[in-house]
Amino acid sequence: EAQVTQNPRYLITVTGKKLTVTCSQNMNHEYMSWYRQDPGLGLRQIYYSMNVEVTDKGDVPEGYKVSRKEKRNFPLILESPSPNQTSLYFCASSSGTGRYPTEAFFGQGTRLTVV
């Protein structure tokens, strides 16, 4: 089954404790991205990756890091989480091979609470 898998689904952590949210896709997609979703603000892109070892900042990258060592995996790293990073996070992937955007497939989301 084609899917994007995020882990964990729920996480409560304390300020300053490094954490990683994993994302894996099995569709051989080139393009992957991370979004956060907050009430009244919609989904905002944090980071994206065009392919292995190619990553770039999205609209709200502060406080986050990513890596793309393998095509299927795109982990999101919070080196020193703060309460303002409490949010619902989505990973997404798309094939990204054509001139126009293709369907983005989303993971089930990670609800992060930083206390």
Partner 1 sequence: RKEVEQDPGPFNVPEGATVAFNCTYSNSASQSFFWYRQDCRKEPKLLMSVYSSGNEDGRFTAQLNRASQYISLLIRDSKLSDSATYLCVVNPPNTGFQKLVFGTGTRLLVSP
Binding footprint of partner 1 on the chain (CB under 8 A): 31, 33, 35, 40-45, 48, 50, 88, 90, 94, 96, 98-104, 106-109, 111
What's the CA gap between 24 and 15, in Å, rounded?
Answer: 26
Q: How far is the CB of 97 from partner 1 (least distance, A)?
A: 9
Q: How far is the CB of 67 from partner 1 (least distance, A)?
A: 19
Q: How many CB atoms lie within 10 A of CB 55?
A: 19
Instruction: State the sign of the Cα–Cα–Cα–Cα dihedral 109, 92, 33, 8.
Output: positive
Residue closer to partner 1 by CB (options 31, 74) is 31
